[in-house]
Amino acid sequence: MGDRIEFQQGRWIVPDRPIIPFIEGDGTGPDIWRAARRVFDAVVEKVSKGRRRVEWLEVLAGEKAFKATNSWLPEATLDAIRAHRVAIKGPLTTPVGGGIRSLNVALRQLLDLYACIRPVRYFEGVPSPMKQPGKLNVVIFRENIEDVYSGVEYQAGSEQADAVIRFLAERYGAKIRSGSAIGIKPMSKFGTQRLVAKAIQYAIQARCPSVTLVHKGNIMKFTEGGFREWGYEVARQRFGDQTVPEAELGPGKGNGGRVVIKDRITDAMFAQLVLRPDEYSVIAAPNLNGDLLSDAAAAQVGGLGLAPGGNVGDGYAVYEATHGTAPKYAGQDKVNPCSVILSGAMMFEELGWTDVAAAIIRGIEGAIASKRVTYDLARQLPGATEVSTSQFAECIIEHVR
Ligand code: NAD
């Protein structure tokens, strides 16, 4: 029997036997979850010498839930995740047809998971299109709730779109072509500052050199420009002793051990990540910029197959593989389990089990270096031996020293 994880005064309180709900996912989800759970249990046991153990609690979503309960997302699943605060999930099929709530949207709203966190780093040996992929090592904090993804959008020719166009024209003289579709881009100081504060807190704790605010404030002055201004403001007001704006770093002046806060225009940032990746560490971005940057950065280090992710709020977090269900390989014990395993490493790090997180990463580094890898990596790595999902998991465990 395990105990619940609690969150008090901004801190996780994690028992030695925490109960953590999991959704195994559809398609290849059960294959990769089985492998991931095997790795998590073995590493926790090894690192803590048997003192700690996760009590996994299965909760249903997706096809498995639909078969058992006739609902793609039973209320009981949402209740369990809310009660236990931290959960991990495999990929889910997006059912075709209307009226189905997406789990991610439901959880984001229910638990206010306002930061989507995506670490992007290179694992030695993974095929990459870049000459020096190891130079990229960033953690992207993407705002998860506001911006053009807030869902306030009206179809071209709809009553709502036409009413908004008319209102803006009559009241403010705005010129919008009639019959246009309309999307609203709300960005608040509150939403920006809690996201940027989370990124800065992470940078301070993990001893990262900088936090870069990525925005298109040269064009969208009040929304994206607001993101920049409010970001610098929260750095100054809440972390004044531990941060310094890049503009205040004169020639020959060091940063005095403080986290440097910089900002870059979105388009320039894409170029920078290709040309000078080692100048960036933690990145804080509004929703759309962050979405685009996350996948572009992941591609530089060898693709989405290895990319983990977490949706995090205050006292709640849900971690997930960032790829889909790869249905054609379902049940074949074939696909790469690294994305969900690395998401687990992020989860353990957030919960303060940093020794477990570090050991998982050592295991993955070792397994990839040994060139006994799943098909997706094996077909691109000269001299590699293809192994199954479960054999790859054993190989990861062997390399946890
Ligand atoms: P996908 O990510 O499942 O597949 C894209 C490609 O990547 C395929 O060639 C696949 O074989 C490969 N791939 C995916 N995961 C892999 C792994 N672990 N190891 C090796 N190769 C892997 O994307 P898709 O085909 O567009 O979507 C399939 C289903 O997944 C759809 O129902 C979609 O809605 C869903 N999906 C879910 C999530 C999620 O739950 N977070 C994310 C994306 C897509």
pLDDT digit string (tens) for 1-43?
A: 899 999 999 899 999 999 999 999 999 999 999 999 999 999 9
Q: Which atom of ligand 1 is nearest to the CA of 376?
A: 20
Q: How far apart are CA 272 and CA 297, in angstroms?
A: 11
Query: Ligand 1: which residue has its CA nearest to atom 25?
Result: 326
- Mean pLDDT (the chain, rounded): 94
CA of 60 to the centre of ligand 1 (A): 19
Q: Burial level of 316, CB count in 10 A (0-12/13-18/19+)? A: buried
CA of 261 to the centre of ligand 1 (A): 35
Query: Ligand 1: which residue has its CA nearest to atom 2?
Result: 324
As given in the structure block, the two tokens for residue 343 are 């998401």
Which residue matches tokens 């095929």? 127
The DSSP line for 117-167 is: EEEEE--TT---SSSSGGG-EEEEEEE-SSGGGGS-EE-TT-HHHHHHHHH
Active centre residues (catalytic): 149, 216, 267, 291
- Strand residues in 27-154 grouped as ranges (E): 55-58, 86-89, 115-121, 137-143, 153-154
CA of 235 to the centre of ligand 1 (A): 37
Q: Does ligand 1 come within 6 angstroms of the Cβ of 326? A: yes
Q: Which of 89-103, 150-164, 208-222, 379-393 has the lowest mean pLDDT?
A: 89-103
Query: Ligand 1: which residue has its CA nearest to atom 14?
Result: 326
Q: Does ligand 1 come within 6 angstroms of the Cβ of 266? A: no
What pLDDT is recorded for position 46? 96
Query: Ligand 1: which residue has its CA nearest to atom 10?
Result: 326
Using DSSP's 3-state secondary structure scheme, residue 241 falls into coil
Q: Does ligand 1 come within 6 angstroms of the Cβ of 193? A: no
Q: What is the pLDDT of residues 289-347, one digit of tens each?
A: 999 999 999 999 987 678 899 999 999 999 998 888 999 999 999 999 999 999 999 99
Q: Does ligand 1 come within 6 angstroms of the Cβ of 147? A: no
Query: Ligand 1: which residue has its CA nearest to atom 13?
Result: 326
What pLDDT is recorded for position 236? 98
Q: What is the pLDDT of residues 108-153, one digit of tens each?
A: 888 999 999 999 999 988 889 899 999 999 999 999 999 988 888 9
Q: Does ligand 1 come within 6 angstroms of the Cβ of 92? A: yes
Query: Ligand 1: which residue has its CA nearest to atom 40?
Result: 91
Q: What is the pLDDT of residues 122-134, one digit of tens each?
A: 998 888 989 999 9
Query: In angstroms, what CA-CA distances link 21 with 4, 74, 361?
Result: 11, 14, 22
Q: Does ligand 1 come within 6 angstroms of the Cβ of 376? A: yes
Query: Ligand 1: which residue has its CA nearest to atom 37?
Result: 324
Q: How far apart are CA 206 and CA 30, in angstroms?
A: 33
Q: Does ligand 1 come within 6 angstroms of the Cβ of 307? A: no
Q: Does ligand 1 come within 6 angstroms of the Cβ of 305? A: yes
Where b means 16+ CB within 10 Å and e means fewer, 187-209 reads beeebbbbbbbbbbbbbbeeebe
Alpha helices in 142-260 (DSSP H): 159-172, 189-205, 224-239
Probe ligand 1: pick from 323, 379, 390, max atoms within 8 Å of CB? 323
Q: Does ligand 1 come within 6 angstroms of the Cβ of 91? A: yes
Whether the full predicted model's pTM is greater than 0.75, yes or no, is yes
Q: Does ligand 1 come within 6 angstroms of the Cβ of 318? A: no
What pLDDT is recorded for position 151? 82
- Strand residues in 14-85 grouped as ranges (E): 19-23, 55-58
Q: What is the pLDDT of residues 358-372, one digit of tens each?
A: 999 999 999 999 999
Count of CB atoms within 10 A of residue 57's CB? 15
Closest to 347 (Cα-Cα) out of 9, 26, 43, 136: 43
Probe ligand 1: pick from 34, 105, 325, max atoms within 8 Å of CB? 325
3-state DSSP helix/strand/coil percent for the chain, to nearest 5?
Answer: 45, 20, 35
Confidence grade of residue 97 (pLDDT, cut at 50, 70, 90) = low
Q: How far apart are CA 52 and CA 353, in angstroms?
A: 10
What pLDDT is recorded for position 116? 96
Q: Is the confidence at residue 233, as pLDDT, over 80?
A: yes
As given in the structure block, the two tokens for residue 58 are 């299965």
Q: Does ligand 1 come within 6 angstroms of the Cβ of 323? A: yes
CA of 323 to the centre of ligand 1 (A): 5
Q: How far apart are CA 389 and CA 371, in angstroms?
A: 14
